Structure 1
Amino acid sequence: MTQRLLARAVLLDMDGTLVDSTAVVEKLWLEWAEPHGIDPQHVLSVVHGRQGHQSMAILLPDRDHAINVVENAEMLARESADVDGVIEIPGAGVLLAALRDAPHAIVTSADIALMTARMGAAGLTVPALTVTAESVSASKPDPEGFLKGAEALGIDPADCVVFEDSEAGVAAGLAAGMRVIGVGAHAAAHGATHVVDDLTQVSISVFDDGIEIVLP
């Protein structure tokens, strides 16, 4: 049955939502974790959707935060330099084009350099408004990033729709009081309000008084 959602703004995660960077993310994080003897499956269950220093704090809870900050900066630099295999999630380019004249923003745990590198590798245009790691004091699943995005757009959080894929990201969107469209096979398990396989299943129409989002 077709579902129609009305919104005044759309907030989009990047990794796993607009771009498929899973292979490089998992490769680099498993390389980081190996010397610490951390179980690979535990690593992969933690790192998606969060800023790197927070992932490190979860994986190595007794380690000094200052070390995590330094190693997170090194990880971001490696990720920005390695975009091999980074491609768009099917339908991402069409979705961004449809939102061109509507209030929308990227809200990502990546920093500006990494966001720019991955969006460029996927052939996607970066929206005029972005909320990146530099913009917030707390990583997803904290709702700060989404709330800042809504504030910058001048839209009430309840009138925003979030597109997310990760457990941390879905939790952040819901905590911000927003409806969340989960993207990908695992999103339903994370409690997203609605779920699509990819963005080809999403249709966007922009009107003077808002945005209509049509889902299968």
Structure 2
Amino acid sequence: MESPMPLTARALLLDMDGTLVNSDAVVERYWRIWAAEQGLDPDAVLQVVHGRQAHATMAALLPDRPVERNLADNRWMLERETTDLDGVVPITGAPAFMAALDGLPHALVTSADDGLARARMGAAGLPLPAVLVTAERVGVSKPDPEGFLKGAAELGFAPGDCVVFEDSEVGIAAGRAAGMRVVGVGPRAAAHAPDAHVTDLAQVRIEALPGEDGLRLHLAD
């Protein structure tokens, strides 16, 4: 059953991990290694790693740790995650969702760097949008809104004309701080009060509106 009040937008801004791509298996492998090396509880660490760039998460977990060590560990993690694609699969409904967006304004806004974004989207069999806002292209990680604001600007739309799809607490906060409406995807998102929520992308139907009027999102209850 679809929601009686569909959302309209001129453009969509899409997070990757947890939203389009399920990469939890890889993320868990390397964060467990890192947590054990720091003497931290891996299960507790995994509760806060989603959505941010790795070095920003490390700084939040260990605020007195030198920035240089966090950046070095960030590089270590990116190198391994980019080549380890075992278990990387599309979120349910993501292939049809991306196919429906072909020719409509949308951008990928991710805390992954360019290499990791391309590797994971490729492993999941998903097409890359023409506009990519990756970690190298922002000065501050989510929950800062910079990435979403940059994506909207590159697509040529005002923030209020955009809808964000996100799964994490920091991503939802970033979309909200950018002045955009947010559709939460999956179980992590439900707890953080997005404007709308779906279990997965199979619950989203995209309707292209006439001319340049954008698109309408029909969301299943």
Give the TM-score normalised by the residue count of structure 2.
0.96
Task: Please point out which of 107, 110, 117 is paired with 1:108.
Answer: 110
Give the AA of the match of 2:216. Answer: E
CA contact (8 A) 1:17 1:163 kept: yes
Kindly state the Cα deviation for residue 97 of structure 1 after the two structures are TM-superposed: 1.1
CA contact (8 A) 1:38 1:59 kept: no
Give the secondary-structure state (helix, strand or coil) at the position aligned to 1:190.
coil
The match for 1:167 is: 169
Give the secondary-structure state (helix, strand or coil) at the position aligned to 1:180.
strand
Kindly state the Cα deviation for residue 98 of structure 1 after the two structures are TM-superposed: 1.0
The match for 1:186 is: 188
Kindly state the Cα deviation for residue 162 of structure 1 after the two structures are TM-superposed: 0.4
Q: Distance in 2 between matches of 1:153 and 1:11?
A: 10
Task: Please point out which of 192, 211, 214 is paired with 1:210.
Answer: 214
Task: Please point out which of 27, 30, 34 is paired with 1:28.
Answer: 30
Kindly state the Cα deviation for residue 107 of structure 1 after the two structures are TM-superposed: 0.2
Kindly state the Cα deviation for residue 190 of structure 1 after the two structures are TM-superposed: 1.1
Q: Please list the CA deviations of residues 152-192 of structure 1 after superposition, one character each: whole Å capped at 9, or x if unmatched.
A: 11100001000000001011001101000000022121121
Give the TM-score normalised by the residue count of structure 1.
0.98
Q: Which 10-residue stretch deviates more, 201-210 or 78-87? A: 201-210
What percent identity do the matched residue pairs reach? 60
The match for 2:179 is: 177
Kindly state the Cα deviation for residue 122 of structure 1 after the two structures are TM-superposed: 0.5
Give the secondary-structure state (helix, strand or coil) at the position aligned to 2:191.
helix
Kindly state the Cα deviation for residue 204 of structure 1 after the two structures are TM-superposed: 0.4
RMSD: 0.9
Give the secondary-structure state (helix, strand or coil) at the position aligned to 2:160.
helix
Q: Distance in 1 between matches of 2:104 and 2:127?
A: 15
Q: Please list the CA deviations of residues 65-92 of structure 1 after superposition, one character each: whole Å capped at 9, or x if unmatched.
A: 0111111011101000101010000111
Q: Please list the CA deviations of residues 84-125 of structure 1 after superposition, one character each: whole Å capped at 9, or x if unmatched.
A: 010000111111111111110000000010001100110111
Give the secondary-structure state (helix, strand or coil) at the position aligned to 2:207.
strand
Give the AA of the match of 1:105. Answer: A
Task: Please point out which of 122, 145, 148 is paired with 1:146.
Answer: 148
Q: Distance in 2 between matches of 1:13 and 1:6?
A: 19
CA contact (8 A) 1:101 1:206 kept: no
Kindly state the Cα deviation for residue 2 of structure 1 after the two structures are TM-superposed: 3.1
Task: Please point out which of 106, 126, 129 is paired with 1:127.
Answer: 129
Give the AA of the match of 2:49. Answer: V
Q: Give runs of ≥4 in structure 1 deviating > 3 Å.
A: none
Kindly state the Cα deviation for residue 25 of structure 1 after the two structures are TM-superposed: 0.2
Q: Distance in 2 between matches of 1:160 and 1:58?
A: 29
Q: What is the aligned residue count?
A: 216
CA contact (8 A) 1:109 1:132 kept: yes
